[in-house]
Amino acid sequence: MTDSVEVGSEAYEKYVEAGDILTTVMSEAAERVEVGATHLEVADYAEERIRELGGEPAFPVNISIDEEASHAAPGAEDDTEFGEDVVCLDVGVHVDGHIADAATTVDLSGNPELVEAAEEALDAAIDAVEPGVHTGEIGAEIQDVIEAYGYKPVVNLTGHGMDVYDAHTGPNVPNRAVDSGVELQAGDVLAIEPFATTGTGKVGEGTDTEIYEVVGSGNVRDRRARQLLEDLERFDGLPFAARWLDGARAEMSLQRLERADIVRSYPVLKESDGALVSQDEHTLIVTEDGCEVVTD
């Protein structure tokens, strides 16, 4: 669970600052998503712009295409260009570990209603947020909107709480009505993220991986792997991209750390072939009389 954040506190101000940076970067990056531009150009632009504005990336920029829902990020040599795609752009910013997380969908494919379904579901979810509301009720709002459009919510992805240097903690915020869950409290920091799909409503792991996170500690015999582990301390436990690492042999060292259960990989999550996925996401702080959206 997240620590309670009091409006006006130093922590609150840092969440707001991270949200302000993210709002600017998201707008600028989304404008660069166009046919012929490359995924890497957009990701590099957004990550560097975050730093220029005084923040740090909370995780690598996710650029998910069509059936991809999450964890898709370009590699160092990736020259993939945008085509007539559904493009989900998911960006995170932190200020001294205080994280803002948001996503938007750029439609280059001619599927505006799929985008609208996720956007309206997020609006309905935010309208429902207040102290004492059950997370399952928020999920019901999301499900009702998406299904009214004729699509399905992605049920095995959820919104989430956030804490300092922890991008995914409790409470989970489901994308469908559920009986299990918790009641929200004033001071909770949440990222609510509806996903709408033309597919089955469930995602599975693909084979591509670019995003990693240090999840344990231990001894490794390989000298280069030990050196890489020391270098990874600069990410403060937050997810990182393989392309952020220095050295030609970093990939091999990263694999050794993963086999030792010190590093975890995040494979791309996908819907069924041919399905399309849209996403919309905001970070908010639950207040005494509702919530404050910090990424809007």
Sequence ranges of the binding site for a divalent metal cation: 90, 101, 160, 193, 281
Active site residue 280: no
Active site residue 271: no
Active site residue 41: no
Residue from 22, 102, 59 nearest 283 by CA: 102
Q: What SS3 state is found at 55?
A: coil
Point out the catalytic residue in the list 39, 94, 98, 160.
Answer: 160
Active site residue 233: no
Residue from 217, 226, 213 nearest 264 by CA: 213
Angle at 291 between CA 188 and CA 20, to 5 degrees: 90
Indicate the annotated binding residues.
71, 90, 101, 160, 168, 193, 281
Point out the catalytic residue in the list 56, 101, 141, 188.
Answer: 101
Which two tokens mark 34?
């166009």
- Distance CA(30)–CA(8), nearest Å, equals 31
Q: How far is CA 106 from CA 89, 94, 226, in A?
A: 8, 23, 41
Indicate the annotated binding residues for substrate.
71, 168
Q: In what order do the strands lie in the sheet with 204-214?
A: 68-70, 263-270, 204-214, 240-241
Q: What SS3 state is found at 215?
A: coil
Active site residue 281: yes
- Distance CA(94)–CA(191), nearest Å, equals 13
Bridge partner list, 93: 57, 100
- Distance CA(267)–CA(264), nearest Å, equals 10
In angstroms, how far apart are the furthest CA atoms of the chain?
Answer: 56
The residue type found at 154 is V
- Distance CA(200)–CA(180), nearest Å, equals 22
CA dihedral 7→61→114→84, nearest 10 degrees, is 150
Point out the catalytic residue in the list 193, 210, 271, 280.
Answer: 193
Active site residue 3: no
Which two tokens mark 167?
């991008």
Residues classed as catalytic: 90, 101, 160, 168, 193, 281
